[in-house]
Amino acid sequence: MAFNHKVHAGDYQIPCLYCHTYARWSPVAGVPSMERCMGCHASIESDHPEIGKLKAYWARKEPIPWVRVHTLPAFVRFSHKRHVRADISCQTCHGPVERMVRVRQVASLNMGWCVDCHRQRKASIDCLVCHY
Ligand code: HEC
Ligand code: HEC
Ligand code: HEC
Ligand code: HEC
Ligand code: HEC
The verdict on residue 81 lying in a domain is yes
Instruction: Give me the count of residues in the chain.
Output: 132
Per the structure, the complete domain to which residue 81 belongs is given by: 1-31+66-132
Residue ID of nearest Cα to ligand 1 atom 10 = 31
CB-based burial, 63-95: b 16+ in 10 Å, e otherwise:
eeeeeeeeeeeeeeeeebeebbeeeeebeebbe
Which amino acid appears at position 91 of this protein? Q
Q: What is the predicted pLDDT for the residue at 132?
A: 86
Ligand 2 binding pocket mutation candidate from 1, 6, 51 (most atoms within 8 A of CB): 51
Ligand 1 binding pocket mutation candidate from 5, 6, 99 (most atoms within 8 A of CB): 5
Give the span between the Cα atoms of 100 and 34, in whole angstroms: 21
Report whether residue 9 contacts ligand 3, using a CB cutoff of 6 Å: no
Q: How many domains does the chain have?
A: 1
pTM of the entire predicted model: 0.97
| Ligand 1, residues at Cβ distance < 6 Å | 3, 5, 8-9, 14, 16, 18-20, 31-32, 66, 68-70, 90, 94, 97-98, 103
pLDDT along the chain (132 residues), means of 10: 94 96 90 92 86 94 93 96 96 98 97 98 97 92
User: In a 3-state reduction of DSSP, which class is residue 93?
Assistant: helix
Q: What is the predicted pLDDT for the residue at 44?
A: 84
The verdict on residue 72 lying in a domain is yes
The verdict on residue 60 lying in a domain is no
The verdict on residue 44 lying in a domain is no
The verdict on residue 2 lying in a domain is yes
Radius of gyration of the chain (CA): 17
